[in-house]
Chains A and B, each alone.
Chain A
Amino acid sequence: MATAMISEHIPDLDLITTYAERQNSLFSRVSPWTKFFMLILIVMMITLTRNLVILAALYWLILLVYWLAGLPVKKLFQWYTMPVVFVITLVGILAWTEPGTAVLAIPLPGFTLTLTDNGVLLVITLLLKALISISFSLFFLMTTRYEYFSGMIYRLFPEPLDQIFLMAYRFLFLTLAMTGSMLKAVRSRGGGLIHSIRVQGKLFAEVAGLVFIRSFERAERVHKAMIARGYHGAGSYTAQTKIPSPGFAEYGILAAAVLAIIVTEYVFPYSGGFFL
């Protein structure tokens, strides 16, 4: 199997799926539905609260669960690069507009740029929210076998969305493998080193263009193979796997999570600050 790893900082679909398929931790035996509903509750929780202490506690709890499941924590931190860059790009400017106590002032001709404590906390809060959702999503993906995942997609999404999702996943594997082998070929001939931005940009544009063309050709071949088996455009494609239902203990955990959200919302309602 060709590795699809393009960069250390981009989540490796092959590695994620390998963990999902091969790991046998307690968390991999938890019903996929439980993990799915837990993800929804976590998203609700981080949407409702801006409390930094609660967010930090939740983040550490998820990190602990991730580690207990035997998943690669170092890799997780490497994969954080993209979301961190994304959040900072978005919030980096907002942080300078938050009122509060100044922690950094940069005098410029005509005005002074001031970073306040609230500005810093805003960045940290939003970063935590992003990392919580990403960490738990990866935990969900890496502890749930794809046959269950595809079964859930088939049951949750209406046609043709389910068909698109199910086919896209396999296609993504093939495209990533193709990209990986092309980059290997480039590196094997001394490419990939940063000679100049122009050369590097041209090189990656060429690889991206080839990936696009070959993906298109492959899509045509896949479509032809589907027609050869009688495909006529309508949904004849099903995901048949039976997904394990949650046990009593899992219902209890979900109920506790719902209770935690309610308590957080009513006991510590948002009052404009970042702390209790």
Chain B
Amino acid sequence: MTIIRRDPGSPHCPPVDPEKELIHVDCASHTYPDGSVGIHEMCFSVLKNEIVALCGPNGSGKSTLIEHLNGLLIPSQGDIWVSGRSITTGEKTDLWKEVGIVFQHSDDQLFAPTVLDDVMFGPLNLGMSPEEARASAMDALVAVGAERLIAKLPNYLSGGQKRLVSIAGILAMTPRIIALDEPTSDLDPVHSAMTEKLILDLRDRFGISVVIATHDLDLAARIADRVCLVKNGSIFAEGRPEEIFYNPGLIEEAGLRLPDTVRTWLEFCEKQGIASPDRPITREHLVSLLHNALS
């Protein structure tokens, strides 16, 4: 895959490919009731078994795009296709069954008095019986490692535990895609690593495609299969992490900062006068290259 540049104003969205794409967004514009444009000329798709990172600064339109994926927002102009079916002709309710959203602030998501009740909320909305919903909720809580929290009040959970329970609440609905808005933004390093591992598990163990909206490029570099740079309500470049993150001009254009690993490697190469074809984006790869270079 090479970097795809998308210039605003040009017709750029490829046709829907139901064989490969789980969801396809071609949103010419979404305008909020106050007249402000949330996203425009947005072309985005999620493939099977992949982790896509939407990277952009605050207010770039990442969260608005995520809300489109779940049907909370509908394009003012344009359409969304789920498994090849257009939502303007199908049932809007299908979307939340296919795509789950984990919101940025877990306190907005966890409203029930106990963890179990909260995780059961989605399965009950899917029409499961209380027994089925309970079983599904328990499975999800076990999968995220939060089964011991079932009787707890969400108010008494730590930030990391709240995030795990929020993910369990979505996982219990067995969606095909899970979108996480700033999944590690307010977590301590330990819970951040746990959430990161869980995101990888969602793809690897459960076969769920994951979309993360983040301005933490280090996170995106570690876990994403594909990176989309979002700016002013539109995706202007996308590609593999090693392609995107080794293009400092693009990152600067997006209003972001290179990941630590990339910055360290580029500075090292510059100081050592090395012109290396290697593009490390994970810490392990960087350490291995530094070790080789220094020995």
A residues neighboring B (CB under 8 Å): 1, 14, 17-18, 21, 145-147, 149-150, 166-167, 169-171, 173-174, 218, 221-222, 224-232, 236-241
Q: Determine if B151 and A145 form an interchain contact, defined as CB atoms under 8 angstroms apart.
A: yes
**Contact across chains for A229 and B117 when beta carbons are under 8 A apart:** no
B96 interface residue per 8 A CB criterion: yes
| A–B Cβ pairs within 8 angstroms, 16 of them | A146-B113, A150-B117, A170-B154, A173-B155, A218-B108, A222-B109, A225-B108, A228-B72, A236-B124, A238-B117, A238-B124, A238-B130, A239-B114, A240-B116, A241-B116, A241-B151
B window 91-141: CB within 8 A of A: 93, 96-97, 100-101, 103, 105, 107-114, 116-117, 120-122, 124-126, 130, 134
A237 near B170 with CB under 8 A, answer: no
Residues in chain A near residue B244, CB distance under 8 A: none
Do residues B154 and A240 form an inter-chain contact, with CB atoms below 8 A? Answer: no
Tell me whether B114 and A221 are in contact (CB under 8 A): no
How distant is the Cα of A157 from the Cα of B15 in the complex, in angstroms?
Answer: 53
Cross-chain contact A228 with B96 (CB below 8 angstroms)? yes
CB nearest to A149 among chain B residues: B113
Q: Decide if B114 touches A230 in the complex (CB within 8 Å).
A: no
- In contact, B113 and A166 (Cβ under 8 angstroms): yes
| A21 partner residues in chain B, CB cutoff 8 A | 153, 156
Mostly helix, strand, loop or mixed at chain A's interface?
A: helix
User: Hey, which chain B residues are within 8 Å of A240, CB to CB?
Assistant: 114, 116-117, 120, 130, 134
| A236 cross-chain contacts in B, Cβ below 8 A | 121, 124-125
Bound CA span A149–B67, Å: 34
A230, B120: Cβ atoms closer than 8 Å: no
Give the residue of B113, B121, B122 whose beta carbon is less than 8 angstroms from that of A150. Answer: B113
Chain A residues with Cβ below 8 Å from B108 are 218, 221-222, 224-225
Known: A230-B97, A230-B126, A240-B130; 6 extra A-B contacts, CB below 8 A, are A145-B151, A170-B112, A170-B153, A225-B108, A226-B121, A228-B70
- List 8 tightest A-B contacts by C-beta distance, closest first: A230-B125, A150-B113, A229-B122, A221-B108, A225-B109, A236-B124, A173-B155, A147-B114
Q: Is the CB of B107 within 8 A of A228?
A: no
Complex alpha-carbon distance, A226 and B112, angstroms: 11
User: Which residues does chain B contribute within 8 Å of A218, judged by CB atoms?
Assistant: 107-108
B68-96 Cβ-contact flags toward A at 8 Å (1 or 0): 00101000000000000000000001001
Answer whether A221 and B125 are a contact pair too, CB < 8 Å, given A17-B153, A146-B114, A167-B111: no
CA distance in complex: A226, B114 (Å)? 15
| With A1-B155, A224-B72: A229-B173 Cβ-Cβ less than 8 Å | yes
* In contact, A230 and B122 (Cβ under 8 angstroms): yes
Q: B259 in the interface, Cβ–Cβ < 8 Å?
A: no
